[in-house]
Amino acid sequence: MYALVVGAVLTLFAFLLLTGQYISDGRVLIRINEDHGLHAGDLFVVVGWAVGMTALVLVTTSRGSLRSS
């Protein structure tokens, strides 16, 4: 249950950061529509989200191996 909550929070956090207005977005890498796109400054958020989700998966999958020790 906690893993689902953490995953939802990380996903919402990334969504809010990516849809926000930044002072320096950087150049547009991928245009989603006329008003939105993936900017160079957004890569930090995407990488952070991926690292967080990977850590979440590792924590939830390694828990079983700790119990058997």
Is residue 10 domain-resident? yes
Is residue 66 domain-resident? no
Is residue 42 domain-resident? yes
Is residue 67 domain-resident? no
Average pLDDT, the chain: 78
Backbone phi and psi for residue 39, each to the nearest 5 degrees, phi listed first: -100, 165
> Around Cβ 64, how many Cβ atoms within 10 Å?
8
pLDDT one-digit tens code per residue, 2-32: 777 788 888 888 887 888 766 567 888 889 8
Is residue 20 domain-resident? yes
Amino acid symbol at 42: D
Is residue 65 domain-resident? no
Note down the domain range covering 29. 2-59
Q: Name the domain count of the chain.
A: 1
This prediction has a pTM of 0.61
DSSP characters for 12-69?
Answer: HHHHHHHHS--S---SEEEE-SSS-EEEGGGHHHHHHHHHHHHHHHHHHHHHHHHHT-
Is residue 40 domain-resident? yes
Is residue 35 domain-resident? yes
